[in-house]
Structure 1
Amino acid sequence: MRLSLKASAAGVAALAAVATALLGGGAAQATTGSPAGSDPVGAVFVQTDGLAGNAIVAYDRNADGTLHWADTYPTGGLGLQLAGSAVDHLASQGSLARAGGSLFAVNAGSNTITSFAIRGDRLVRLQTTGSGGDAPVSIATHDRRVFVLNARGGGSIQGYLNVGGLLVKVPAWHRDLGLNPAATPQFVTTPGQIAFTPDGSKLIVTTKANTNAFDVFSTAGFGLSASPVVTTVPGTVPFGIQFDAAGHLVAVEAGPSAIATFTVNADGSLTQLAWAATGQAAACWVVVSGAYAYTSNAGSASLSGYRLGTVGSLTALGNTATDPGTVDAATAGGFLYVQTGATGTVDEFRMGADGSLTKVGSVLVPDAVGGEGIVAS
C-alpha cells in the first residue's frame, strides 16, 4: 500500500506554515532558562501523566549529570491510570518520543497526542490531536512517520506524517490489533510498546500477557501491511523493547523478569539469540546505550545491567539500587536517567566505561507519582 499525498497537499502546506510561524517567536509558553551558575550541556524532558492535567517537566542537564528544573509545560490533555497499575500508570514504554526538534507526548486520559517544538530546554506547544483510538500509551518515530499505540478497546495503531512538528493523520495507516478488550488486569494485558526497526522497514508492537507476542508490521514503501507477522512467546509477557548497535531487538519479558535478544528476520518473524533472568521482580523496561543494556525492575527498585555481544549475547553486570518503583529510562552524555514511579522522582546515574552505574543524585518531578515517559539529550 502506498500513500498519495496529492489530495492533502494544501492541508500539509497550511500546517507547515503554522509551524513556521509558531517557531518564529512569540508562541513559547514560558521562557525560564537555566539556573544561575549551572553548566547545562543538554536537557531531559519528563512526562507526569497527571490525571487532572498531563504536563512535560523540562530539566537542564549539567556536565556532572545532575538535573535542574527549567520549566513545566502543560500538554493540554489528561493522564490516565490503567486498572491495576501502581507505579506505572500507563504500563508502557516510549510514551514520550523525540524526532529531531520535535517532542511528542501521549495524553492517555483524553485520547490525544501533543506535539511540541524543542528550543534548548524550552518547549513550544504546537498541536493536540486525536490518537485514533482509546488510551494512547506509546509513540514511535522514523523519518517523517509517527505511529501511536492505543492500549484499550482491543488495541490499535495509528500513523501520521510529521510536517514541521505538526501531525497529519493518515487514515490508511490505522490498524486494529484484535486483542481481547476484556482481559484483566489492564496493566499486564494492554499492549506495551510500539517501535520502528532501525531501518524503518518494520513496526513492532508488544502485546504483553494478552497474547504474549510480538506483532511486526511491514512499513516498506511508505505503506503499512494489512496484518502483522506474529511471533508468540508463551508466558513471557513481552513489554519494553529497544535495539542494539547491530540491529538486534532487545526485549524485557515481565513474566519471568528476564531480558532477551532477537534477530528480526526479513519476513517479520523473530529468532531468539540469547536469554537471561534478571533475578529481580517486575522487570518491564529496557534502555540500551552503546554496548550495554539496563532493565528497570519495578518490584525490586533496581536496574540490572548487561553487556551486549556483537551476536546478541548477554553478560550480566549486576544490579544497582534505585528509588522505589523503577520504570522508564533514558541515556545521554554518559549518564542514565530513570523514573521511579512510587516516589515521582528521576534518579541520575553516571555510566562507567565498564557499564557500571554510580548514582549522582535525584530530582523530584511535580505530580509525577506513577508517571512514565522520559527523553534525554
Structure 2
Amino acid sequence: MSTDSGPVGKAVYLQSNEHENSVISITIGHDGKLYGGMTTSTGGMGGAGIDGTTNKPAGPDALSSQGSVVVKDNYLFAVNAGSNTVSMFKIDGINAADLSMIGNPSAVPGDFPVTVAASVKRSLVCVGYTGKMAGVSCAPFTHEGLGPMKQVLDFDLDQTTPPVGPTNTVAEVFFTADDSRLITTVKGDPTTNNTGFISVLPFKDSCSCALQGHDVRTSPPGTAVLFGSVNIPDTSDLFVTDASFGTTILDLHPNTDSVSLLHKTVITGQKATCWAAYSEARNSVFVTDAGRDRLIEIGAHDSKIMSTLDLKNGDPGLTDVKVSGRFVYALSPGNGTTPAAITVVDSFQGQEIQHFQLEKLGGSKRAQGMAILQW
C-alpha cells in the first residue's frame, strides 16, 4: 500500500528476547497504525548482558545492539543470545505476521550473538557476537535454510558471557548498500580510554560470497561509543550514532576500506543516542535515546538537526527504530514498571498517532530489535 509519501509497510517485527525466545510480528494497517499481533517461537533462548553500572541483568536494551532481527525479501532472521544460535523464517505471502521457521536454529561459533545482517545478492547471513568469544560468523542461505556458520572475524574484547556493557561490545553488523563490504561497529569505553572502532571486511570479487581474509579497523578521531548505523543512499557514507555525544557521518574510502569523520552532531541533553533509521520520504535519519522519550530527526547529508519530538506517553526511553513511508516505529521496552510499547509517529505531521503496548504479545523490558516488511 502506498501513500503520497511512499509505501507503508506490511508488518513490523521484534523479538521478545525472553528465556524462551520468540519473534513478535504485528500487522501494519493502511493508516500506518499497528493491529493485532502474533508470536512465533525462535527455537532458541534470549539473553541479557550485565549492566556495568548496576551489575545486574540489563533491561531495557538487554542486547545493547542494533539489528537483532532483520528482514530481507520474504525472509526474517533473529539471533538467540542465550543459546548462541540464529533462526531463519519464511514470511507468509498473504498474512505478513505469519512466520514459519525454516529448519532448526543454526549454531553460531561464538558467544552471545546480538546482531544479524543478510544479503540477498550474496545469499549470505552474518552474525555478530560479543561474549567471551567475540567476532563475526557468516553462512550461506537458501529457501531451504541456513548453511553452517564460519567465523570470519575475531574481536579481542576481553569480555565475559554474558558481556558486561553496554560499552566495549559489538553493536551492529550490516552490509554496505552495494553488498561489497561487511561493516561491524564495536563500542569503546571512554571510562577506560578504550576507543571503539569500525571494522570493514570486503568481498574478494563481485561474484563470490567469500570474504577477504582480513578487515580494516578504524577509530575515527572524536568518536568513542559507535553504535547503530545506516547506509546513506547514493553515497559510500555511513551514518553512525555515538552514544557518548550524538551522531556522525563517516566517509568509507573505497580504496583503503578505512573510514574518516565528515560530520559530527552533538545532541544537547542526550543520554545514550544509539539507534538510527533512514527515512526515504524525508531524506533524513531518525535517532532514539535509551534514556529520553524523544525522536530526533537529522539531515542525512548535512548532519543538521531537522526536528525534535518530545513524546508524552510515559515511556522511559526509546531503543530500536524503523521507518516506513511517512511513519516512524520506535520501541520502548519499558523498565519493568512501565510496559513495553511501540510508538508510531507520523513524521510529516510531527506527532504521535499510536502507542501500541506489547505486554499481551510477550513484550517486556528484554524486548529488542526492529524490522519491517515493505510492500
Alignment equivalent of 2:118, drawn from 134, 141, 156: 141
Distance 2:320 2:85 in 1: 21
Deviations 1:112-166 (A, max 9, x none): 1111100122101113111221111001111211100011124111101111151
Q: Which has the higher helix share?
A: 1
Q: What is the TM-score of this pair, normalised by structure 1?
A: 0.83
- Which of 324, 332, 342 is the matching residue for 1:346? 342
Q: 8 Å contact 1:57–1:69 — kept in the other structure?
A: no
Distance in 2 (CA, whole Å) between partners of 1:250 and 1:109 is 30
Offset at 1:186? 2.4
User: Residue 334 of structure 1 contacts residue 350 of structure 1 at CA under 8 Å; is this kept in 2?
Assistant: yes
| Conservation of the 8 A alpha-carbon contact between 2:186 and 2:226 | yes
What is the aligned partner in structure 2 of residue 324 from structure 1? 316
Q: Distance in 1 between matches of 2:29 and 2:111?
A: 38
Q: In structure 2, give the amino acid aligned to 1:363.
A: F
Aligned letter for 2:341?
A: T
| Equivalent pair of 2:124/2:141 in contact (CA under 8 Å) | yes
Counterpart residue type for residue 125 of structure 1: M
Between the aligned partners of 2:156 and 2:202, the Cα distance in structure 1 is: 17
**Runs of 4+, deviation exceeding 4 Å:** none
For 2:32, the equivalent position in structure 1 comes to 65
Aligned to 2:292: 300
Q: Does 1:237 align with 2:216?
A: no
Kept in 2: contact 1:209–1:238 (CA 8 A): yes
What secondary structure sits across from 2:170 in the alignment? coil
Alpha-carbon offset, residue 368 of structure 1: 2.7
Q: Does 1:115 align with 2:88?
A: yes
Please tell me whether residue 363 in structure 1 is matched to residue 363 in structure 2: no
Alpha-carbon shift at residue 334 of structure 1 (Å): 2.0
CA contact (8 A) 1:108 1:137 kept: yes
Whole-Å Cα distance in 2 between the matches of residues 363 and 114 of structure 1?
26
Any idea what SS the aligned residue of 1:121 has?
coil
Contact 1:102-1:165 within 8 A present in 2 as well:
no
2:43 alignment partner in structure 1: 76
Question: What amino acid does structure 1 have at the position aligned with 2:215?
Answer: P
Structure 1 position 326, deviation (Å): 0.5
Contact 1:347 1:363 in 2 (8 A): yes
User: Which structure 1 residue ranges, 5 or more long, are not aligned?
Assistant: 1-39
Structure-to-structure mapping, 1:259-298, within 5 angstroms = 259-266=247-254, 267-279=256-268, 280-290=270-280, 291-298=283-290
User: Size of the alignment, in residue pairs?
Assistant: 329
**Aligned position for 1:34:** none
Distance change (3 Å), C-alpha of 1:369 and 1:108: same
Alignment of 1:118-267 (within 5 A): 118-119=91-92, 120-127=96-103, 128-143=105-120, 144-164=123-143, 166-171=145-150, 173-181=151-159, 185-209=164-188, 211-221=195-205, 222-233=209-220, 236-247=224-235, 248-256=237-245, 258-266=246-254, 267=256
Cα pair 2:333 2:363 within 8 Å, conserved = no
Shift of 1:41: 6.4
What is the one-letter code of the residue matched to 1:287?
A
Q: Could you tell me how far 1:180 is from its partner in structure 2?
A: 2.3
**TM-score, normalised by the number of residues in structure 2:** 0.83
Q: Does 1:43 align with 2:11?
A: yes
C-alpha deviation, 1:329, in angstroms: 0.7
Distance across 1 between alignment mates of 2:27 and 2:347:
19
Q: 1:48 to 1:182 in 2, by over 3 A?
A: closer
Match for 2:320: what amino acid? D
Q: % of aligned pairs identical? A: 24
* Preserved CA contact (<8 Å) 1:202 1:220: no
Equivalent position SS for 1:90: coil
1:15 maps to which residue?
A: none
Query: Residue 31 of structure 2 aligns to which amino acid in structure 1?
Result: D
The SS at the match of 1:209 is coil
Structure 2 residue identity aligned to 1:281: K
Distance 2:370 2:200 in 1: 24
* Secondary structure class of the residue paired with 1:223: coil
| Deviation at residue 325 of structure 1 after TM alignment | 2.4
- Superposition CA RMSD, Å: 1.9
Structure 2 contact 220–259 (Cα < 8 Å) conserved: no
Partner of 2:55: none
Write the letter of the residue equivalent to 2:328: L
Q: Of the two structures, which has the highest relative contact order with CA contacts closer than 8 Å and spacing of 6 or more?
A: 2
